[in-house]
Amino acid sequence: MTRETTATLLRPPRGPTIPAPGRAHRVWLVDDDEGVRPLLARLLSRVKGIECSREFSSPDALLAALQQEAAPDTIPLDVHLGAQNGVDFIRPIKARAPATRVVMISTFYDMEQASRALRTGASGYLVKVASLAEIVAHILPEPAHPQPRPAPTVGFRGQPGLRHTLTLS
């Protein structure tokens, strides 16, 4: 069965988890790049309303932590993790933490990987050259009354207002 999803670039996804008033949006970051991971974690932690409380260099370490601790609100997850592919870990993450949003991050935009990630349950897909504002917009849910679950989104630097249609099967 094929489902067509229209994803608006640079439009953040709405997520199912909205932190309680006064509580920061908890983020656990997964990236194998020792230069990128701590930098992105520091930048996110400086944003009001975000607490980047954990960093992992592998999805295996993340899965072990999900067995022991309360899940975060959002997990930015690198696509290319050495010999591992982050997309392969979306289902195990969602099995342990169904309300947690997984936002894929990658050095390069790959339509096939983005489509596969969204079909597998990712809430969004970002390229690492995205601005901090774009990354934050994909991590923080829109504060609003409960709404129907929207289509997943894909974001990367490009033409403002550009739309992209993904066919998910």
Q: Specify the CATH number for the domain of residue 27.
A: 3.40.50.2300
Percent of the chain with pLDDT over 90: 52
**Residue of higher predicted confidence among 122 and 146:** 122
83 pLDDT above the threshold of 70? yes
Q: Distance between CA 73 and CA 90 in Å, rounded? A: 14
Go through 25-46 and write b for each residue having 16 or more CB atoms within 10 A of its CB, e for each that does not. Answer: bbbbbbbbbeeebeebbeebee
Domain that holds residue 132: 3-14+23-168
As a whole number of angstroms, the distance between CA 76 and CA 123 comes to 10
C-alpha pair distances (Å), 164 with each of 7, 26, 38, 77: 6, 29, 31, 22
**Which contiguous run of DSSP H or E holds residue 38?**
helix 36-45
pLDDT in the model for residue 17: 43
Q: Please tell me which residue, 133 or 14, carries the higher pLDDT value.
A: 133
For residue 108, the model assigns a pLDDT of: 84
Provide, rounded to the nearest whole percent, the portion of the chain with pLDDT above 70.
70
CA angle (108, 75, 35) in 5-degree steps = 55
Cα–Cα distance for residue pair 108/169, rounded to 1 Å: 23
Total number of domains constituting the chain: 1
Distance of CA 57 to the CA centre of its chain: 16
Q: In which residue are the tokens 């997943």 written?
A: 152
- Res 110: pLDDT: 86
How many Å apart are CA 71 and CA 32, to the nearest integer?
20
